[in-house]
Every structure is written in C-alpha cells, then in structure tokens.
Amino acid sequence: MSEARSDAPEATMANGTVAPNTAEMPDTTPSSDVYAPSDGMIENANITAYMRKKGFDTYDDLYQWTVNNPQDFWADMAQELEWYAPWDQVLDESHAPFYKWFAGAKCNIVHNAIDRHLTTWRRNKVALIWESEMGEMRSYSYHLLNREVSRLANVLKSMGVKKGDIVTIYMSRIPELMFAMLACAKIGAAHSVVYGGFSVDALADRINDAKSKVLLTADGGYMRGKVIELKKIVNEALQRTPTIQTVIVTKHTGQDVVMETGRDLWLHDLFGLPIASALCDTEPVDAEDMLFVLYTSGTTGKPKGVVHTHGGYMVGTYTTLKMVFDIKDEDRYWCAADPGWITGHSYIVYAPLITGATSIMYEGAPNFPYPDRWWNIVSRYGVNVMYTAPTAIRSLMRFGEAWPSRHDLSSIRLLGSVGEPINPEAWRWFRDTIGASETPIMDTWWQTETGHFMITPTPITPLKPGSATRPFLGVDVDVVHEDGSSCAANEDGMLIIRKPWPGMLRTVLNDPDRYVSAYWEKVPGGVYTAGDSARKDEDGYIWVIGRLDDVIKVSGYRLGTAEVESALVSHSSVAEAAAIGLPHELKGNAIHAFVILRMGFEPSPALEAELKAHVGHEMGPIARPEKIEFVTFLPKTRSGKIMRRVLKAQALGQDVGDTSTLET
C-alpha cells in the first residue's frame, strides 16, 4: 500500500517563504538509485534516430545544441509538419514576453491532426478507440473521424460561429468531446473546455469570461456507475450567464433532461439536416491565432484563461509525444487523463492525432466495476504506451497485485506519469507490476501554461524514481533564488524557464497584465516563473517539490484556495473562510477549510456536511473539502490577507515560522 510521506519537517526556503507541504516532496532517492535504459530501448527510440541524424552521440550533446539553438531545433521539428504558408520568423521576440512563434505562417492544427493523414494509408487506421464504463464501445478511423468533425464544423458554421469566437464545451469523456474541439479548430474558432467534473459556478464563470454564444454539452456522463447530470448543471449555470444563445446536446446517457425551446438543440437532430454535410474545408489560420483557452486556478478567486495558439502548440505537442512516448505507427497509446485537463488537450486529442497514432479513450472510473478495469483495457486493446497520474497509480496499488496479474500486460513498452511528484514506491510498483520491470517511466513535468512536456525523460534517459529528470530538448530550465541567481546543487528554490518555447501560453484571456505579472515578473531577468519549488541535484536532475503559491493539487487537479473560499462564503451561513491543502495518502493533498460563521449560525456536523455539499455543488466534487473546522479567528496579515501558511503549519503541528506581519 502506498503511503505519502508526511514525516519530514516543513522547510523554509532560501527566499524566506515556507516550502509547500512535505507530503508532495519525493523521497531524496540517492543518486546511485539509477535505472538505465536497455540497449534495445536506446537502439529503437525515435530520439536516437534524431540524434544520429544530427550527428550527435549523446543526449547531452544533442540537448546542448538544441538549447543553444532553440530556433533551429524547433524549426527542424516544424518542418516535419505541413503548413499552408511558411513562416517569416521562427521566433518574434519584439514584444517580449508576448512572444510569437512561426510568425507569418499559415496553418491549421486540424490539417496536421486529420487532413494530411487522409491522403495516406492512415486514412484506414484506427484513430480512436473509445469505451465507457457501462460497456459501450466505438472506434473511429481517421476517415470516419474526419466525417464526424466536418459535420459538426458545418453545424457550428451554420450557427454563425467564426474566427474570434470561443465555444464552450462541457461534456464527459466521450468521442463527441474530441469532435467538438477539432470542429472548432477546423473553422478557426477557439474552444474552451470546462472539465466535466466541475459544477455550476465553475462553468458559469468560465462561460462568462469567454463570452461564449454557443455551448456544446451532453445529457449526462458516467462515473463509477452513476450518471453525472451535465445538462441539469448546464441549465442552472445558464441562469447566471447572459451570453449563450445556443446549446447543442449530445444524447449519451439517455436520461430525461429539460430542453429549453429556442435555445437547446439535440446534436442528432442537427445531424439529420442538410447543414451537417461531411464536406468541410479546413480554414487556414495564422500560426498565432487562438486555438483554445483553458482555465486554470491561480492565486486569486478568478481562474486564469490560459491562451494557446495553433502553430507553436502543434509543433511542441507533436515533438514531445514523438520523442518522449516514442510513438510508432504500430503502437496503441492510452492517456487515461480527462480531455478537460491540459493533459487531455495535448496528449489525448492533439498530439496523438498529429503523430497519426491509435489512441484509447475511456469514460469512467479506474476501479469500476472491479479494480482491474484499467488492466483489462490494457490487455484487450494491447496498449503499448500508457500515461496516467500518481494519484491513480496509488489508488490502484492498494488493491494489490492480484488484479493486474489476471491480465496479460506484456504489450506495455513505456509508462508515463504527470500531475504531481510521484513517490518512489508508486514509481517502482508501476514499473514492476504494470510494466515488465525494465519498463521505463516517463515522469513528465509541465503545466497548463507550458502546453507540452518541459522536464521529462526520454526512452534513453537513465531514470531516478521521483525525479522528472532533465529538461526536454530546447528547454532551458533552472532553479533560482528570488533574486534570480542560480541555486547550488540540491538547494531548494524556484523553478524557472529561461527561454521561450513554442507551446507556451501567449496571454491570459482578457487580462494581459496578469499574464506579465503572474509569470514574467516574479524573478528578475525576463524569465518564466512556474510557481513550483524544486531542486537540481549534482547530476542536473530536477526534483519538483510542489506549488509555492496558493494552488492545491488534489488528485493531480489544480485548485485555487481562493476559489474554494469564495464557494464557501457564497453560502448564507459563512462570514469568512480559508482553505489549505494537507497531505493525503491517495490524493496527494486534500482540502481543509476553516470557516467563521455569521451571527445566528451554530457549528454542527450537519452544517459541516451542508457546506461540503455546497462546495461540491458550486465547484464540483473534486473541490469538496475533506474537513471543515469552525473557528472564531483566522490569522491575517496587517493588510488583511489570510496567512494560510500559519494555518497549515498549525494543522501539521509544526513551527509556525515568522509571524511578524501577523495582525494581533
């Protein structure tokens, strides 16, 4: 059974701030605990072929060249894809940090994800295999995928959706979610996918920020044998949003839903009309045109709309999937994330299609109806590459080896992990029990903002369990003090990226100032600050420790303390609230909230349960606090900011550190 470490003392950072909770900290595995790749793995890897093509003998030499000449490297990769018109400049730095990649080029990510395969044998290749936990299965060749996407694109066009519009998509993990994203991109509109596990308030906020006129949803989705009532949540959210004119609903679960005449339309009805023709040209767009916005939690109550564009994102996601997960045409690849998360955007939808892969999508829980559901999927579909998160690995580990051992998992060649540091125990279990002991684990560090992997092994990297290892090609990473100077080996500091990269976010939607202040001004020198603490060991391996800001990673999902707090204070009984993350064995972190009640309300277990349910209803089940404590006082600075680190240290029974700014 996996256990997150909770015994280490909370560290004070070199910059005076308190390091995030220690349960997120990977064990300090000795550098001698290194897992070297096999000769066969090295010989056959895509990255080895590229290294040889460029005339280098080692990854280090290749890396040095790419980091000294990032524009040459990324242009090399871009040339493996198709463009309608070439770029004038690989990187335009004239308005830094508003960088432009492949400036002047015309392209469309859908051309590379679908169109270009249709003139090759891949037209008949399976692009997507989907199954739901209730047993339904479907598969789509690239040819059929193109038809579905084109029909939906034509429907959207007929509704007046065009370039510059942002279409909100709120669905569970079904193929139509993928079609919806691709249909928007195909006609040059942008999508904003709201994770299907989010609820009324989270959905309404995101629709309002994006000012969407069209919303694509489904009647419901499945999770652990239950139906998530997506359309019901939509109906409630739309009472708080003035912009939506049309809602297109996919029938999936088939339960009764309330459809509003004049606003809500069934997708299958629209597909029966002549407007839904399967012929639709892909719209050429500028490389820098918006592809999507994806909201992510930051330090304020308002989530940030992270903006990604067609050209650079397409090159970055393609290159990383090809080199890190070593995708070959004969592979079957499975990313078990949710498409509503950046991992799903980049590595379920776009990159696998651009590489022409066959990928798997599964709607449901890993342990439904039994804890071997995932291993059953691996063996039935012959999955070669599997990508998931530490929280899922830990939760399946506790059911023991008997469940995976019932299945033939020998097809697996590579495994992957993302979302939070992976504890070495889970790492070893994943490698030994799911892999075949020699199976490398690609522990990929990246963010919604980075678009694609930034620190990651490749199949030829010697691995240290718990470390995301080395920066990817062309990516210049460092660990620094607050003044921007580099930390010594093994010293904790702030994780930064020194040079721009193609899949980077371009701005925060409707808030360019926040883009600059949140990412580019925290450390001097025009560098990107990730918001994570990390250390670099004597071999240059990066050990990510966790978030430095008020963002909590719950089961790998990123939640802002401020969002949870504002959900709490929206309840009539709550005067003030503070939320913190505390170590949790399976989830990595769990939310604990402290609440001051309004006059006339008394603490009770019933009220605690009601408040938890209220947060779940407003934000989604993932944000439900584990525990709510009723208090009469919250520690605050003299300027009135809640000192969450004091609450956290108290909860962990640790020294509260410097409280000189505490209001008394």
Binding site for ligand WTA (CB under 6 A): 296, 342-343, 418-421, 443-448, 468, 530-532, 544, 546-547, 553, 558
Complex with ligand WTA: residue 343 or 391, whichever CB lies closer: 343
Complex with ligand WTA: residue 188 or 421, whichever CB lies closer: 421
Cα distances (angstroms) measured from residue 477 to each of 254, 417, 456, 491, 535: 49, 20, 11, 15, 11
Complex with ligand WTA: residue 25 or 114, whichever CB lies closer: 25
Supply φ then ψ for residue 208, to 5 degrees: -65, -40
CB 663 within 8 A of CB 630: no
- List, in sequence order, every residue forming a beta bridge with 296; answer none if it has no partner: 304
Q: How far is the CB of 342 from ligand WTA (least distance, A)?
A: 5
Complex with ligand WTA: residue 220 or 303, whichever CB lies closer: 303
Complex with ligand WTA: residue 451 or 635, whichever CB lies closer: 451
With b meaning 16 or more CB within 10 Å and e meaning fewer, what string describes 102-136? bbebbbbbbbbbbbbbeeeebeeebbbbbbbbeee
Q: How far is the CB of 585 from ligand WTA (least distance, A)?
A: 17
Beta strands in 235-289 (DSSP E): 246-250, 264-266, 285-286
Residue in the shown chain whose Cβ atom is closest to ligand WTA: 448
Complex with ligand WTA: residue 122 or 558, whichever CB lies closer: 558
Complex with ligand WTA: residue 133 or 326, whichever CB lies closer: 326
CB 195 within 8 A of CB 340: yes
User: According to DSSP H, which parts of 488-589 are helical?
Assistant: 512-519, 561-569
First to last CA, the chain: 44
Give me the DSSP letters along 199-210: -HHHHHHHHHHH
Q: How far is the CB of 482 from ligand WTA (least distance, A)?
A: 18
Nearest residue to 78 (alpha-carbon basis) of 394, 503, 490, 404 = 503
Complex with ligand WTA: residue 126 or 336, whichever CB lies closer: 336
Number of H helices, E strands in the chain: 21, 30
Q: How far is the CB of 258 from ligand WTA (least distance, A)?
A: 33
Complex with ligand WTA: residue 176 or 492, whichever CB lies closer: 492
Complex with ligand WTA: residue 132 or 456, whichever CB lies closer: 456
DSSP state of 256: -
Q: How far is the CB of 539 from ligand WTA (least distance, A)?
A: 17
Q: How far is the CB of 495 from ligand WTA (least distance, A)?
A: 8
Q: How far is the CB of 341 from ligand WTA (least distance, A)?
A: 6
Chain centroid, CA 492 distance in Å: 25
Complex with ligand WTA: residue 341 or 381, whichever CB lies closer: 341
Q: How far is the CB of 332 from ligand WTA (least distance, A)?
A: 22
Alpha carbons 59 and 47: distance in angstroms, whole number: 9
Q: How far is the CB of 230 from ligand WTA (least distance, A)?
A: 22
Q: How far is the CB of 82 from ligand WTA (least distance, A)?
A: 27
- What is the 3-class SS of 389-411, one letter each residue? CHHHHHHHHCCCCHHHHCCCCCC
Q: How far is the CB of 297 from ligand WTA (least distance, A)?
A: 8
| Residue 266, number of CB atoms within 10 A of its CB | 15
Alpha carbons 367 and 373: distance in angstroms, whole number: 6
Alpha carbons 399 and 395: distance in angstroms, whole number: 8
- Pairing relation of β-strands 166-170 and 557-560? unpaired
Structure tokens at 111: 């051309």
3-state secondary structure of 561: helix
Q: How far is the CB of 196 from ligand WTA (least distance, A)?
A: 16
Number of residues that this document lists for the chain = 664
Complex with ligand WTA: residue 158 or 447, whichever CB lies closer: 447
324 φψ region: left (φ > 0), alpha (ψ -120 to 50), beta (else): alpha
| Residue 572, number of CB atoms within 10 A of its CB | 9
Q: How far is the CB of 260 from ligand WTA (least distance, A)?
A: 33
Query: Which residues neighbour 43 within 8 Å (Cβ) at sequence distance 6 or greater?
Result: none
Complex with ligand WTA: residue 477 or 595, whichever CB lies closer: 477
Q: How far is the CB of 544 from ligand WTA (least distance, A)?
A: 4
Query: Which residues neighbour 568 within 8 Å (Cβ) at sequence distance 6 or greater?
Result: 574, 577, 579, 593, 595, 611, 614, 615
Complex with ligand WTA: residue 76 or 420, whichever CB lies closer: 420
